[in-house]
Amino acid sequence: MPAWVLLLVAACQTSDDDQARRDEMVQLIARRGVTDAAVLAAMRAFPRHELVPAGQRAAAYEDRPLPIGDGQTISQPYVVAVMSAAAAVKPGDKVLEIGTGSGYQAAILAALGAKVYTIEIVPALAERAARDLGRLGVKNVTVRQGDGYQGWPDQAPFAAIVVTAAPEKVPPPLLAQLAPGGRLVIPVGSAGDQWLEIHERQGDRVRVWREFAVRFVPMTGQAEQRPSDDPAR
Strands (E), 86-192: 94-98, 115-120, 141-145, 158-163, 178-190
| Exposure on the CB side of residue 129, measured as CA atoms within 13 A | 30
Q: How far apart are CA 57 and CA 59, in angstroms?
A: 5
Q: Which is catalytic among the residues 75, 84, 190, 228?
A: 75
The answer to whether 15 is a known catalytic residue is no
3-state secondary structure 96-109: EEECCCCCHHHHHH
Long-range contacts of 10-19 (CB under 8 A, 24+ apart): 11/137, 12/47, 12/50, 12/136, 13/47, 18/47, 18/49, 18/61
Give the catalytic positions in this structure. Answer: 75
